[in-house]
Amino acid sequence: MLICPQCKFENFNTNKFCQNCGTSLTYKVCSECSTDVPVNAQHCPNCGADCGTVWWAIIAHKGTGDEGEEKLREQGDEESYLHFSISLSKFSVGSYLDQEQRYQILEPLPNPEEFTASTEVCIRVLDCQPYQISPLEAMIENQQQGVVTPSVEASGIPSFAKPYIALQSLGHSGIPPIHDAWQQGDMQVVLIQNRSDWPYLLDLWQDNTTSSLQILHWCYQMTQLWVLLEPVNCLPSILELSNLRLDEDQTLSLGRLYVEPLNSQPVAVPTTAEDETSAQQGQPLTITTLGQVWQALFRHSQRTQFGSIVQMLADLEIGKIETIAQLRSRLEEMAMELEEPTTQPSLPTEEKYTTAPTTLQLNELVEDSDIKNDDLPTIVLPMQLSTLEDAGRTDVGRQRHHNEDYFGIETKLNKLELPKSRILQARGLYILCDGMGGHAGGEIASELAVNTLRQYFEENWIANQLPTEESIREAVYLANQAIYNLNQKDARSGVGRMGTTLVMLLIQDSHAAVAHVGDSRLYCLTRKRGLEQMTVDHEVGQREIARGVEASIAYARPDAYQLTQALGPRDENSINPSVEFFEINEDTLFILASDGLSDNDLLEIHWQNHLLSLLSSGTNLEGGVTDLIDLANQYNGHDNITAILIRAKVRPNLESPK
């Protein structure tokens, strides 16, 4: 099946255009010059920009990663490896790695005489059918939907693909996602996200503009990866300095996974300046080993160890720090010591990170693993906003003749960048209203509410300070009064009285507040927690649940979805806007949605396919909003549809002494 890049609709492999939204399935648009480029092209023919979908292919002997490798070595099965090396020699640049001729090789493989029993070949390959779902992706998707699928072994998936599959459901950005895997004769192949061009951790570690607090933050992220990798025997992935990379937000990431061989001594810890991959053999992989990695990073970068980190590394070496929890606690204490007194105090968070597969449980996947939930908190560091982007759109839907929804977006950005510091001060006001009262009623109320709120905050938002709850409530009451006065002036009565729902998000740097009246919603999406609904609808069903009635009974009422409050129909004594404040402590996608988008649990069902990718800076929010509108028209469409997307990316506030 071909998955449409725009609306995610499944199309037959012979389709040239999406049967749902009409998007081309044979051409893509160059992001640099907007030229139409064949989907199987690596570069744009007009401007030369990279347009192709490139994967990182790991090619190994069929015994790699399991007990079969040990047996082959013990038996001296040189013939099997000879066949393998001969098979590799048949591949060249431009040829295909698979029999279906989908993955085209972009770089030369090593000569057969250079290949040994322990060698793995890693190369980049171009996906010539990027919109076609891979067999492995189909298996994972079926498993998530509860469809019985064959075991990894029965499906011919290499054993060393198991850790990637086991960790895939966690959605941790540090672990490269797996795309495809197969076995072919003596050869097994795993395709993962290509991170070969991502910057090395070591390069920024040695940069003199990198603060000590940033280094502590990377150390902490390494402890998080340690907890993930230990149950699936992939701790060597952290010990290879060249495997430690940074993503676009300077978050620690792995280039690939290295599996610790069974029935053998753990793989090496980098300890010498001559060779990053050289190491002492036979040492158990404990958190003491993690300390040796940090020492190697300091040594290779020729950076002087600072303050209390010297004592921490010494305590690790002598075994005084015995657990990951103790190590994290020490890192947090050191981070607090480095923070300047003028820095905004860091707030404890209740964020939890799940280190166990959630829905993905492929048969016999990791029978010998011991992955468990890890409720240790994220490191306590002050965060600052690094980017703030947004996009909004409204649509009449498929059944209405006029649009009563209205929205407003107003932002102010002030950026200061110096050689050793970068500061972004940002203010964002996002308002969405879903009007009611019929033609020339609902649309008037929603527009009046948005403009009243905009004008209020234009006059009353103090620079670099989030409005208070009292101020936000006052603004909502003024919007209510403006609509109420118009109703009274026009002598409207009953269902003819116009009104509107409201959901409003206010952002000041890394601080935010949400206010709402009615059933328009705010959602937030993060990689750690997935999609969360931040507001509770003001409707009869939710009112009954708050009174202790079971949800099934509350929503069996015929008036369950009737609003309990809205702006405009009555005076301010009839409304009680909900106002909440929170911190933006991780990269977050906010979604403001009218009920035309949120009805029938649309976002809860489709967020992984339609929202998750929008957390990345490389994705276009305008296209994301269009995608949501199309999705709502496909599955709902009975009402007006409005969506606002806000992507807020943060990073540690590292303006501290080095």
Residues 225 and 295 both lie in one domain: yes
Residue 505 has pLDDT above 90, yes or no: yes
Has residue 580 got a pLDDT over 90? yes
Provide the domain limits for residue 126. Answer: 26-193
Going by pLDDT thresholds of 50, 70 and 90, the confidence category of residue 154 is: low
In terms of domains, do 173 and 224 share one?
no
Q: What is the pLDDT of residues 619-655, one digit of tens each?
A: 889 989 999 999 999 988 889 999 999 999 988 775 5
Please name the residues in contact with 75: beta carbons below 8 A apart, sequence gap of 6 or more: none
Q: Work out the end-to-end distance of the chain between its first and last CA atoms, rounded to an integer number of angstroms.
A: 53
Tell me what pLDDT residue 80 has. Answer: 62
Query: For all residues of the chain together, what is the average pLDDT?
Result: 82
CATH of the domain at 641: 3.60.40.10
- What's the CA gap between 441 and 434, in Å, rounded? 11
d(CA 311, CA 317): 10
C-alpha of 163 from chain center: 20
CA 81 to each of CA 49, 55, 76, 78, 185: distance values in angstroms, whole numbers, following the listed order:
39, 25, 10, 5, 11
What's the pLDDT tens digit per position in 118-133?
568 899 999 999 999 9
**Among candidate residues 322, 338, 354, the one where a domain is terminated:** 338
Of 159, 193, 227, which one is at a domain's C-terminal end?
193
User: Which residues, including other chains, have CB under 8 Å from residue 559's CB and lie 6 or more apart?
Assistant: 540
More confident residue, 379 or 523: 523
The reply to whether 599 falls in a domain is yes
Would you say residue 300 lies in a domain? Answer: yes
pLDDT at 153: 55
| Confidence grade of residue 156 (pLDDT, cut at 50, 70, 90) | confident
Does residue 455 share a domain with residue 428? yes
Q: In the chain, helix, strand, coil percent, each to 5?
A: 30, 25, 45
* Number of domains within the chain: 3
Residue of 634, 533, 615 whose CA lies nearest to 578: 533
Task: Kindly state whether residues 181 and 284 are assigned to the same domain.
Answer: no
In a domain, 18, yes or no: no
Cα angle value 344/224/656 (rounded, 5°): 30
Give the CATH number, domain containing residue 331: 1.10.510
Has residue 344 been placed in a domain?
no
User: How far is it, in rounded angstroms, from Cα 52 to Cα 130?
Assistant: 8
The reply to whether 163 and 295 lie within a common domain is no
Query: Higher confidence at residue 275 or residue 515?
Result: 515
Mean pLDDT for the stretch of residues 290-308: 87
Q: What Rg do the C-alpha atoms of the chain give, in angstroms?
A: 28
**Greatest C-alpha distance within the chain:** 95
State whether 511 and 410 are in the same domain.
yes
pLDDT of 604 reads: 93
Is 445 among the domain residues? yes
In the block, tokens 């919603």 appear at 521
CA dihedral sign of residues 169, 173, 175, 178: positive
With 90 as the cut, is the pLDDT of residue 10 above it?
no
* Residue range 220-232, pLDDT digits in tens: 899 989 999 999 9
184 lies in the same domain as 309: no
The pTM score is: 0.64
Average pLDDT over residues 163-176: 86
Task: Check pLDDT > 90 for residue 378.
Answer: no
DSSP string, 477-532: HHHHHHHHHHHHHTT--GGGS-EE-EEEEEEETTEEEEEEESS-EEEEEETTTEEE
If one compares 330 and 169, the residue with the highest pLDDT of the two is 330
pLDDT tens digits for range 330-371: 888 888 777 644 333 333 333 333 333 333 333 344 344 344
pLDDT at 351: 37
Same domain, yes or no: 179 and 215: no
Q: What is the DSSP letter of 133?
A: P
Residues 388 and 304 in one domain: no
Residues 176 and 317 in one domain: no
- Give the up-direction half-sphere exposure of residue 366: CA atoms within 13 A in the CB hemisphere: 24
C-alpha to C-alpha distance for 80 and 185, rounded to whole angstroms: 10
505 bridge partner residues: 430, 514
Higher pLDDT, 284 or 186: 186
Top pLDDT among 534 and 6 is at 534
Alpha-carbon gap, residue 229 to 234, rounded angstroms = 5
Q: Is residue 96 part of a domain?
A: yes
* Distance between CA atoms of residues 651 and 341, nearest Å: 19
Question: 20 in a domain, yes or no?
Answer: no
- Of 515, 501, 520, 505, nearest to 442 by C-alpha is 501
pLDDT of residue 76: 46
pLDDT one-digit tens code per residue, 423-460:
788 999 999 999 997 666 899 999 999 999 999 999 99
The answer to whether residues 175 and 206 belong to one domain is no
From residue 29, give the alpha-carbon distance in Å to each of 51, 131, 398, 579, 618.
8, 14, 28, 42, 14
Query: In Å, how far are 198, 202, 206, 209 from 303, measured between CA atoms?
Result: 22, 11, 6, 12
In a domain, 345, yes or no: no
Of 158, 193, 228, at which residue does a domain stop?
193
Same domain, 187 and 209: no
pLDDT tens digits, one per residue of 42-83: 999 999 889 999 999 998 877 655 444 444 444 445 666 666
Greater pLDDT, 185 or 580: 580
Q: For residue 277, what pLDDT is reported? A: 35
Predicted pLDDT at 354: 32
Rank 363-367, 371-375, 595-599 by mean pLDDT and report only the highest: 595-599
